Structure formats: C-alpha cells, structure tokens
C-alpha cells in the first residue's frame, strides 16, 4: 500500500493570487508565480520566493521576496542558477520576459532587523542549528559561521528580481500566447512554444533565436529537453508528442500509443529524466487524458524509451491528470490530478505508486517540483527520501514527502541465508539424503 499524508506535510504557504508555475531557484529556495490576469479584480500578478527548511519536525517556508508584474499574469517560467548568477524567464502573453535575480547576503539579527528593515518573527518557528554540510550557504562564497544562541544564522540570502530584455515568442494571428518555456541542463539552450504551434529554440542567456520549428498544427502544451540536449520533445493539442533534433530542427521520432478501444487521447505533459543505473541513457515520461466525458476512460502516466519511441510501462488513473514532475536523480516521478487536486508519487523505473495524497488541494494541481538533491548548495535535510512541492489555483503551496522505505540490512540477509542453509543441511541429514 502506498504511503499517505504525513503529519509534517501539507500547507507550506498561502499567497493572495492563483498559482500556475513553480521552479526551484536554489536547493533551498522555491519560486512560485501566477496571478489574476489583466481584469480589474484586485488580484495581483507576479512572483514570490520562499526559503525552505526543516526544523526537525516539519518543513517550513519563509517568504523572502515578492515581485509584482503589473497587469500581466505569469503562466509559465524557468530558472537557471549558477553561483552568484541567477536568471529567470517568464511567459507574459506573447512575450518571454527575461529577469536578472540578484543575490546578496544580509545580516539577520535576533530582534528581526534585516538590512535596516524590521520583520515580525513572532509566528515563525526557530530554525535549528545545522551541522556539517548543512551549515554551508547555497552560495560557495558565503560564510555562515555566525550563529546566535539558538543556532540561527545571522546571514541569509536576499533576492532582488530585476526585469531585463523581452522577446516575442509566439506569433499566432488570433491570440498569441507563450504556453511553455524550458531551459536545458547546460544552461545554454532555451525552448519556447505557444498557440501558433511552433517550437522555438534560443541561445541562453543571450536570448538570440536559433531555430523555428513548425512543430504542430495546434497549440503546444509542453516541451522538454533530453538530458544531453540533443532532442527536444513537444506535446500539442493535435494529439501528438514529437521529438526534434536541437541542431537541425528535424523530426527524429514520435510517440505512438495504440490506445485500447475507440478512446481518443491527448498528451498533456512530458518530462525527460536520467537513468540512475545508466547515466548515458534517458527516460521520457508523459501523461495522457481521454477526450470526452470524464470518468468514461482512464488517464495514464506513461514511461517511454525515447530512443525507440516505445511505451515501456503505464499506470492508470480514474481521473484526468494535470501536472508532472521528475526528481533530479531520476528515481521518482510525481503527477497531480485535475478534479480531486490529489498528488501521486511513483518509482520511475516501475511506476509503482509509493505515495498518494488525496485532496492535497481544493482545485486542480497546476504545478509540481521535487526538492532537489544536486542543485547549487546543500539540500534541505529532513527525514524524507523524497519530497515534492505542489501548487494550485487555490493559492496554496504544499509539500508531500516520502518516508525512507525500510529495507533489510545486509547482515540480516547474510544471517538468513546461513540459517536457511543450515536448516536444509539438518533436514537432509534427518531424512537420510
């Protein structure tokens, strides 16, 4: 049976606008984005950054900065962090807005003063003192040896989001909208796509166009780079998922899925991942929903061999799926549901469910992001084997963690083998064999 919600999990933070995008900035900082659009409803548009920690009992999120984007809602975004340089790109209508995220170090005094501003810590939990690698800052140039009597560091990272260039990425005649943006693992390549059906590749961070790929006949819902960035996968409302060569822009493959019966399916999301036991290989995950009346046909989480374009495994769901994420180690994959707002975590190679959080949100899940293990700086240390963040249009940021699964110790396995062999020998002697 899969695990269920743990006591230390659930609501991390609440904002005052609907959330549509989530990205990790560092191993300890998460950025969420969204808004109410251009309508005069009083609902803001923009970003919020939270610092994550674990106080020994539960995960904690502390707001670091809020940046509003005026009348423009942020529906999608991507981040790139390398040392002191941090970049953010966000889809704002037909354009992709480029931001510099400046990182500085501020002193935080026990009375709550920080950079001359007073904060109210009365409702914020104390942060336990960390040891070893935990005391290192996400920035290797920042020292954090100054702590108070409670083990709280006097130094913290501060973020300032500054808008820079903006480029048009969608040219639909009716309603141009950038639907998705992704940055490759090397940080040198960016992909955008939207309602005109094109996938456009850009050099990053120069934001110079590299390729225009006339990929689909209808709007594109999702794109993702393979780990080596030789391919980019795109998913569209034309019911196809296609792989493209990032150098030539030529089609190199297409996912073919013979769905059972007469049901018609639409791919919704796609994500590549590395293969832990074979670093040179990659996996491709997708989610697919049936077209038509909900509940009549199942939805699926799918595992593909992208080099062969073959479906390896799938896991059925009784409701439509809306979000997909893969851990940076490639060990786990998570999905979010449309109607119940639930979150499900699976082992990547088998798609075995190991965590099921029913009703994590009151509305559909719009984004998922695993806490990283290999991003800049030390990860958040907790008792969990894996943890995934979820967002929704219910304005909530939640976390769901998987406890370390029990395994048999090596010494116990050897002991059982010895006992079994001894018992077999005694039995054979007894019956005269």
Domain assignment of residue 104, yes or no: yes
pLDDT per residue as tens digits for the range 208-219? 999 999 999 999
> Can you give the pLDDT at residue 263?
79
Alpha carbon 89 to its chain's center: 16
Q: Contact, 299 vs 290, CB < 8 A?
A: yes
What is the domain extent for residue 361? 10-430
Q: Which residues contact 261 (CB under 8 A, 6 or more apart)?
A: 297
Task: Work out how many domains the chain is built from and give that number.
Answer: 1
Q: Which residues contact 237 (CB under 8 A, 6 or more apart)?
A: 216, 218, 219, 221, 266
Domain assignment of residue 5, yes or no: no
Q: Which residues contact 194 (CB under 8 A, 6 or more apart)?
A: 91, 94, 169, 170, 172, 176, 177, 178, 179, 180, 219, 220
When pLDDT is cut at 50, 70 and 90, the band that residue 104 belongs to is: confident
Domain assignment of residue 3, yes or no: no
Dist. CA 219–CA 194, nearest whole Å: 6
Measuring CA to CA, which residue among 244, 253, 230 is closest to residue 308? 253
Of 291 and 381, the one with more pLDDT: 291
Strand arrangement, sheet containing 251-254: 220-225, 231-236, 241-245, 251-254
Domain assignment of residue 1, yes or no: no
Dist. CA 345–CA 390, nearest whole Å: 12
Measuring CA to CA, which residue among 247, 177, 254 is closest to residue 213? 247
Q: How many CB atoms lie within 10 A of CB 59?
A: 22
> Can you give the pLDDT at residue 140?
41
Structure tokens belonging to residue 208: 């110079």
Q: Which residues contact 245 (CB under 8 A, 6 or more apart)?
A: 230, 231, 251, 252
Domain assignment of residue 403, yes or no: yes
Domain CATH for 98: 2.130.10.10
Of 94 and 416, the one with more pLDDT: 94
pLDDT per residue as tens digits for the range 39-57? 667 889 999 999 999 988 8
Which of 1-5, 66-70, 324-328 has the least mean pLDDT? 1-5
Structure tokens belonging to residue 213: 């790929």
Q: Contact, 243 vs 252, CB < 8 A?
A: yes
Whether 151 shows a pLDDT value over 60: the answer reads: no
Domain assignment of residue 357, yes or no: yes
Domain assignment of residue 367, yes or no: yes
Q: Contact, 292 vs 264, CB < 8 A?
A: yes
Domain assignment of residue 328, yes or no: yes
Of 151 and 264, the one with more pLDDT: 264
């Amino acid at each position: 049976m899969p695990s269920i919600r743990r006591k230390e999990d659930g609501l991390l933070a609440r904002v005052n606008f609907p959330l549509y995008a989530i990205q990790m900035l560092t191993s300890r900082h998460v950025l969420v984005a969204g808004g109410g659009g251009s309508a005069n409803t009083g609902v803001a548009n923009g970003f919020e950054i939270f610092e994550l920690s674990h106080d020994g009992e539960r995960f904690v999120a502390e707001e670091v900065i809020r940046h509003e984007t005026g009348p423009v809602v942020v529906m999608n975004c991507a981040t790139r962090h390398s040392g002191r340089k941090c970049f953010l790109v966000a889809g704002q209508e037909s354009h992709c807005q480029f931001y510099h995220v400046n990182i500085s170090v501020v002193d935080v005094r026990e009375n709550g003063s920080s950079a001359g501003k007073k904060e109210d810590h009365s409702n914020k939990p104390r942060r336990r003192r960390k040891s070893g690698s935990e005391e290192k800052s996400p920035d290797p140039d920042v020292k954090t040896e100054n702590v108070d009597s409670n083990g709280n560091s006097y130094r913290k990272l501060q973020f300032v989001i500054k808008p820079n260039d903006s480029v048009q990425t969608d040219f639909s005649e009716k309603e141009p909208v950038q639907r998705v943006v992704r940055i490759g693992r090397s940080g040198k390549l960016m992909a955008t796509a939207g309602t005109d059906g094109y996938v456009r590749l850009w050099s990053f961070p120069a934001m110079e166009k590299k390729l225009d790929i006339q990929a689909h006949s209808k709007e594109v819902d999702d794109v993702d780079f393979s780990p080596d960035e030789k391919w980019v996968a795109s998913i569209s409302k034309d019911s196809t998922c296609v792989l493209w060569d990032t150098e030539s822009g030529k089609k190199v493959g297409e996912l073919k899925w013979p769905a059972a019966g007469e049901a018609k399916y639409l791919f919704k999301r796609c994500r590549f991942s590395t293969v832990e036991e074979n670093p040179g290989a990659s996996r491709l995950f997708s989610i697919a929903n049936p077209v038509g009346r909900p509940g009549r046909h199942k939805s699926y989480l799918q595992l593909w061999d992208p080099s062969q374009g073959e479906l390896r495994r799938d896991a059925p769901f009784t409701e439509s799926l809306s979000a997909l994420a893969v851990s940076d180690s490639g060990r786990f994959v998570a999905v979010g549901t449309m109607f119940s707002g639930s979150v499900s975590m699976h082992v990547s190679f088998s798609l075995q469910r190991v965590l099921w959080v029913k009703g994590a949100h009151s509305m559909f899940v719009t984004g998922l992001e695993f806490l990283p293990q290999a991003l800049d700086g030390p990860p958040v240390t907790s008792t969990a084997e894996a943890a995934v963040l979820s967002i929704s249009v219910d304005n909530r940021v939640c976390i769901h963690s998987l406890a370390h699964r029990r395994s048999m110790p090596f010494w116990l396995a050897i002991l059982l083998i010895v006992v079994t062999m001894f018992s077999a020998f005694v039995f054979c002697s007894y019956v005269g064999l």
